[in-house]
């Protein structure tokens, strides 16, 4: 599909953090990429195409995906928020996206899920992509919902759906937790490419993580479909530990993969939380 201008690819959430980091890499691979968000990215280049759309408005989403071959769906709220916020941006918005994709006969959707869909797994447990979801927040619940929608639209309507449980994207891991879940923008783009191009994709869940020695996730399915991460968080251990020392302990969050998302609003006994 690379460099095929007849295959329109729509990228929602293009003005967000991950959008900003991956746009330059994607532009080289998919020159006709259609960027979308509620507001135009400040650094939009004359060579880039932008279409504004609000995910909560079904007709705007339908107009956006009309004629698209594939959608990279990163749009929505990217951290914990009020129920009202999560409901609109991530639950209703995600439904509108899949429904518009079905109506427009879109072939592939890559959904930006999150590690917070499984954030209540203990850090000491290594998990695969077949575990029961254990969200650590309303945000995490919305990502589990998006994965379930993806499975529905794959099984019922034949859309090839790839859900990426993204850890934390950036030039380097920000703290000790991120040593286990960090992904470089380049590695994330590799996972986008598998979702956009691999002929074996029907419904997939991959972890969005680089080749991290401290990792908690078994990503063998992604590897079987060609994922060859080059980022290694261990190279940045000194930096991550120095940053961690500034943050200090979080007696609940430090036990669970989701960190502060798990400890926020926590009223349980830690012994009764998580699997
Ligand atoms: C996420 O899902 C968020 O979008 C991102 O902002 C980070 O908080 C990340 O998880 C993380 O867990 O570090």
**Could you list the pLDDT tens digit for every one of the 275 residues in the chain?**
455 666 899 999 999 999 999 999 999 999 999 999 999 999 999 999 999 999 999 999 999 999 999 999 999 999 999 999 999 999 999 999 999 999 999 999 999 999 999 999 999 999 999 999 999 999 999 999 999 999 999 999 999 999 999 999 999 999 999 999 999 999 999 999 999 999 999 999 999 999 999 999 999 999 999 999 999 999 999 999 999 999 989 999 999 999 999 999 999 999 999 99
Cβ of 242 less than 6 Å from ligand 1 = no
Residue 114 near residue 143, CB atoms below 8 Å: yes
The pLDDT value recorded for residue 91 is 98
Cβ of 198 less than 6 Å from ligand 1 = no
Catalytic residue among 139, 153, 207, 227: 139
Cβ of 165 less than 6 Å from ligand 1 = no
| 4 lies in some domain | no
CA of 46 to the centre of ligand 1 (A): 30
| 2 lies in some domain | no
Give the chain's end-to-end CA distance (angstroms, integer). Answer: 41
| Total domains in the fold of the chain | 1
| 79 lies in some domain | yes
Going from the C-alpha of 194 to that of each of 32, 138, 239, 241, 275, the distances in angstroms are 18, 29, 31, 33, 31
pTM above 0.85, yes or no: yes
| 160 lies in some domain | yes
Residue 75 CA to its chain's centroid (Å): 10
- CATH assignment at residue 84: 3.40.50.720
CA of 113 to the centre of ligand 1 (A): 10
Residue 189 near residue 230, CB atoms below 8 Å: no
E strand or H helix that includes residue 254: none
Residues in the chain: 275
153 in active site: no
The pLDDT value recorded for residue 275 is 93
Domain enclosing residue 218, as ranges: 9-272
| 167 lies in some domain | yes
| 169 lies in some domain | yes
* Residue located via tokens 């926590």: 266
Q: Which of 16, 113, 114 to mutate to test the pocket of ligand 1 (most atoms within 8 A of CB)?
A: 114
The pLDDT value recorded for residue 5 is 60
Residue 225 near residue 164, CB atoms below 8 Å: no
| 194 lies in some domain | yes
| 1 lies in some domain | no
The pLDDT value recorded for residue 1 is 47
């Amino acid at each position: 599909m690379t460099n095929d201008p007849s295959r329109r690819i729509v990228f929602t959430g293009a003005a967000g953090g991950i959008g900003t980091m991956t746009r330059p890499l994607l532009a080289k691979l998919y020159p006709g990429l259609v960027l979308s968000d509620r507001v135009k990215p400040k650094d939009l280049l004359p060579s880039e195409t932008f279409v504004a759309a609000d995910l909560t408005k079904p007709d705007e989403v339908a107009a956006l995906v009309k004629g698209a071959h594939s959608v990279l769906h990163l749009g929505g709220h990217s951290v914990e928020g009020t129920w009202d916020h999560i409901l609109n941006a991530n639950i209703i918005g995600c439904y509108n996206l899949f429904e518009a994709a079905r109506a427009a006969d879109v072939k592939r959707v890559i959904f930006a899920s999150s590690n917070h869909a499984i954030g209540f797994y203990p850090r000491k447990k290594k998990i695969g992509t077949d575990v029961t979801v254990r969200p650590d927040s309303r945000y995490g619940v919305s990502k589990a919902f998006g994965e379930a929608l993806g499975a529905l639209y794959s099984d019922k309507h034949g859309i090839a759906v790839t859900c990426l449980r993204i850890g934390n994207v950036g030039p380097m891991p920000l703290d000790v937790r991120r040593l286990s879940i960090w992904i470089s923008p380049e590695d994330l783009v590799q996972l986008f490419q598998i979702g956009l191009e691999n002929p074996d994709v029907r419904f997939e869940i991959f972890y969005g993580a680089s080749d991290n020695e401290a990792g908690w996730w078994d990503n063998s399915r992604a590897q079987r479909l060609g994922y060859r991460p080059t980022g290694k968080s261990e190279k940045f251990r000194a930096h991550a530990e120095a940053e961690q020392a500034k943050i200090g302990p979080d007696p609940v969050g430090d036990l669970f993969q989701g960190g502060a998302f798990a400890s926020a609003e926590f009223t349980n006994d830690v012994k009764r939380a998580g699997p």
